[in-house]
Amino acid sequence: MEKILTKNFDKPGSHTLKVYEEGGGYEALRKVLALWTPEQVAAEVKKSNLRGRGGAGFPTGLKWGFVPKDSPKEKYLCVNADEGEPGTFKDRMILERDPHMLLEGAILASYAIGAGKAYIYIRGEFALGGERMETAVSEAYARNYLGPNILGSGFCLDVTVHYGAGAYICGEETALLESIEGKKGWPRIRPPFPAVAGLFRRPTVINNVETLANVPHIINQGAEWFASLGTEKSGGTKLFCISGRVNRPGLYELPLGTPLRRMIEEEAGGVIGGKRIKGVIPGGASCPVLTEKEIDVPMDFDSLARAGSMLGSGAVIVLDEETSMVETLLNLERFFARESCGQCTPCREGTRWFVQVLTRIAKGKGTDGDPDLLLDIADHMAGRTVCPLGDAAAGPVKSFVTKYIQEFLPIS
């Protein structure tokens, strides 16, 4: 299969402007600024069936379309590079190996939505990725891919690289906005939606790194080409981060719709020591787990939704027959309990309660009522919180406890 996003990853100096330009970098930008209107860019992306790669899979063209056209207010683009979903390491690789691809995508998106200012919000721990991104931004300024009157087109764009301070919640788009504004990363209530009142209460689009990295390719090779790569409803390839008990963990660029089992067995070389698969988390820590019987599912947004899980960020975590599902779930819930922003009641209290009950079960002090209690807490969290973190914490509980209930009951 043709690699798109990762095609430059193994070239020496792939993160430099020189190498990026040698591979045709910034040609999409030159083409667009010379010949295309912003509406054409947005229309092309819409036609490509590109869907957000941050986890929710929202159609990118549609999202851009929500920005009010006639608003006199300044508009912003925010690049969400706060990759923190456990098991996920795809955006990091783009930042480290091909930051100009992301930057070109961000410039094209800014042009499409009429933003004059873009923020790249990078997870604070990404030292190398951040450094390379900052260098890329300086190089782009020097070449007038950024700044005033870009390439003589009249379009102006300034980019600021902003670092997170270690909170998972700041990857939630409205918490990210709060964080850029210098506030505590507490997700906002919606409405108003960021497209109408986002950063500094101005119209704002927030896109994931991988999402934007696709945009130059869509411009260069056309929406039809991109759409043809994926499934009917979602175009392009996807970066999958395969980890857990597999022989070859790592980053894989594969077409959307690749069956999960084939991904594990062929791409990742199967389970270590030929052990049986007990379960697979298909899209990162917040996605419901799939049992061994369920992993023939094609890995795309809609198929996984039908299977009761999510594609999420494409982080495939493989659990083998020796893995304790109680310990695994406890590990996940510890993460969510620590990362809950603490703002709203069900998430703040529920995540901690999960950890307490699971710790008790893990210590062999569980009761017959614990599985029901866990499920009931999850039911009262899911869909009732300010932001999706409540759902993210409840989803794994529901799936782990229902699918592996024997492990959560006391040994009788």
Partner 1 sequence: MTGKAMPTLTIDGKSISVKPGSTVIQAADRLGIFIPRFCYHPALSVVGSCRMCMVEIERLPKLQTACTTPAVDGMVVHTGTDKVRDARRSILEFLLINHPIDCPVCDKAGECFLQDYYMEYGLYTSRYLEERWNKRKVFVLGPTIVMDEERCVLCSRCVRFFDEVSGVKRLGIFERSAESYLSTYPGEVLNDPYCGNVVDLCPVGALTDRDFRFEQRVWMLKHGDAVCPFCARGCNITVDYNEKSGIQINDRRVYRFRPRYNPEVNGYWMCDTGRYGCRTVDSPERITEPLMREGKRIIPVVWETMIKKTALRIREVIDQDGPECIGLIVYPSVTCETAGAAKRLFVEHLGVRNVSTGFPVDPSAYEDDILIRKDRFPNRRGLEEAGLSGGRDAEWILGAWGKGELKLLYVIGDDLPRLLNKQKPSPIFEAEGVLILQKSTAGPEDEFARMILPSVMSLEEDGTFINFEGKAQQFKAVVSPFGESLGSGDILARLARALGLDTETA
Q: Which is nearer to partner 1, 18 or 184 (CB)?
A: 184
Residues contacting 409, CB < 8 A, separation 6+: 366, 368, 370, 371
Nearer to partner 1, 191 or 364 (CB): 191
Interface region with partner 1, contact rule CB under 8 A, candidates 202-210, 226-234, 344-352, 400-408: 344-352
Rank residues 3 and 380 by Cβ distance to partner 1 and give the closer one. 380
Is residue 174 a contact residue for partner 1 (CB under 8 A)? no
Site size toward partner 1 (CB under 8 A) is 33
Site string for partner 1, 120-149 (x = CB under 8 A): ------------------------------
Which residue from 102, 109, 113, 344 is in contact with partner 1, where contact means CB under 8 A?
Answer: 344
DSSP state of 249: -
Q: Rule CB under 8 A: choose which of 319, 341, 378, 397 binds partner 1.
A: 341
Measured between alpha carbons, how far is residue 395 from residues 57, 244, 357, 382 in Å?
17, 19, 16, 8
**C-alpha closest to that of 113 among 195, 57, 36, 27:** 195
Shortest Cβ distance from residue 406 to partner 1 (Å)?
A: 21
- Strand-strand pairing, 117-122 and 315-320: unpaired
Closest CA to 335 of 81, 121, 85: 85
Which residue is listed with tokens 């999409």?
A: 28
**CA dihedral for 99, 101, 104, 108, sign (positive or negative):** negative
Site string for partner 1, 188-207 (x = CB under 8 A): -xxx----------------
Burial 162-186 (b: 16+ CB within 10 A, else e): bbbeebbbbbbbbbbbbbbeeeebb
Q: What is the distance between the alpha carbons of residues 309 and 317, in angstroms, rounded to a whole number?
A: 13
236 binds partner 1 (CB under 8 A): no
Are 173 and 206 in contact by the 8 Å Cβ rule? The answer is yes
Q: Does 169 bind partner 1 (CB under 8 A)?
A: yes
Which is nearer to partner 1, 127 or 189 (by Cβ)?
A: 189
Shorter beta-carbon distance to partner 1: residue 328 or 351: 351
By the rule CB under 8 A, 345 interacts with partner 1: yes
Q: 50 vs 142, 232, 254, 256, 257, CA distance in Å? A: 30, 11, 15, 11, 14
Report the residue from 17, 79, 140, 167 that binds partner 1 according to the rule CB under 8 A: 167
Residue 61: Cβ within 10 Å count: 20
Per CB under 8 A, 37 contacts partner 1: no
410 near partner 1, judged by CB under 8 A: no
Positions in the binding site for partner 1 (CB under 8 A): 167, 169, 184, 189-191, 337-346, 348-353, 356-357, 360, 367, 369, 373, 380, 383-386
